[in-house]
Amino acid sequence: MWALRYPQIHPFMGVFPGFKAFIAAVLGGIGSIQGAMIGGMLLGLIEIMAVAFFPALSGYRDAFAFVLLIVILLMKPTGLMGEKLEEKV
């Protein structure tokens, strides 16, 4: 379906959708299907709102997703709905 959007097909045309799917899964929590769905919806909403509020930064739309990934990994590495990890000493 992604190939129907463009008049040509090349091997790397699915890289950015794959990155976005990975970011959505990490955002929601790896291992949680509901979390991945919520992460995808949240990622799309954040990208659209960032472009809507800052139209001058619309060229950096994909960068918002990667910045969000870094922030989530720093703040809560298991994702929003991921399982809680306990440190064993």
Q: Which of 29, 64, 37, 34 is nearest to 48 (CA)?
A: 64
Q: Which pTM does this prediction carry?
A: 0.77
Which residue has tokens 């922030």? 71
pLDDT at 85: 67
d(CA 6, CA 8): 6
Place of tokens 């976005």: 20
How far is residue 12's CA from residue 68's CA, in Å, rounded to a whole number?
23
Which residue ranges make up each domain of the chain?
A: 16-75
Residues in the chain where the model's pLDDT stays below 50: none
